Amino acid sequence: MSKKEIIRQKLKEKRLLLTPDEVKRKSQKIVQELERLVKELKASSFLFYHPIKNEPDITPLAEKLIREGKTVAFPKVIGREITPLRVKSLSELLPGRFGIKEPPYRPDFILREVEVVFVPGIAFDKKGYRIGFGGGYYDRLLEKFPVKSKIGVCFDFQLTEEVPKEPFDIPVDVIVTDKTTVRRKEWKQS
């Protein structure tokens, strides 16, 4: 088993041991920091993710931004690609591929660019590199999609010294956990 696989398995198992109350409490702390960051960025369009397997739940922020009239999208997996589709309500999200809630496909709701992408992960290092579930979906999205800010989201125990990286891995600019915010030096605020 590779070092990446060992880290992935260990941290997935640790995250699955969290109780629903722990996930909720830790997620609320993350959302508070994300709200502050969103104001700082002065962005108007966002790509969220719907949490699975005890990932931090940041959907309350998505609901708030929708109420404020911001453009909010969620990923729709089509083939081996993520397509950002705008939503007007989280009630539009339905279980899709891999059991992850996603918007129904509507060509007129596809976003061609997004200012901020919230990126889930199983592990992040302080240089912004991440380990996901291993499908490369977010790396392919970030490679071809114009994004102003990439924000990694995880629980504090998922921050590691270094994750093994591949040439195609794209780092996030900021990582927000329930205890800290880590910014890469290259990150620029607008």
Alpha-carbon gap, residue 1 to 148, rounded angstroms: 35
**Are the beta carbons of 118 and 58 closer than 8 angstroms?**
yes
* 79 is known to lie in a ligand binding site: no
* 168 is known to lie in a ligand binding site: no
Alpha-carbon gap, residue 32 to 165, rounded angstroms: 30
* 96 is known to lie in a ligand binding site: no
* 130 is known to lie in a ligand binding site: yes
Angle, CA 25 vertex, CA 20 and CA 27 arms, to 5° = 90
Burial class (CB in 10 A: 0-12, 13-18, 19+), 112: exposed
* 5 is known to lie in a ligand binding site: yes
* 133 is known to lie in a ligand binding site: yes
* 132 is known to lie in a ligand binding site: yes
**Are the beta carbons of 185 and 143 closer than 8 angstroms?**
no
* 69 is known to lie in a ligand binding site: no
User: What are the beta bridge partners of residue 169?
Assistant: none
* 121 is known to lie in a ligand binding site: no
Q: Which residue from 65, 67, 53, 15 is spatially nearest to 178, judged by alpha carbons? A: 15
* 49 is known to lie in a ligand binding site: no
* 8 is known to lie in a ligand binding site: yes
* 58 is known to lie in a ligand binding site: no
* 179 is known to lie in a ligand binding site: no
**Are the beta carbons of 152 and 176 closer than 8 angstroms?**
yes
Annotated binding site for ATP: 4-8, 130-138
Annotated binding site for substrate: 55
Annotated binding site: 4-8, 55, 130-138
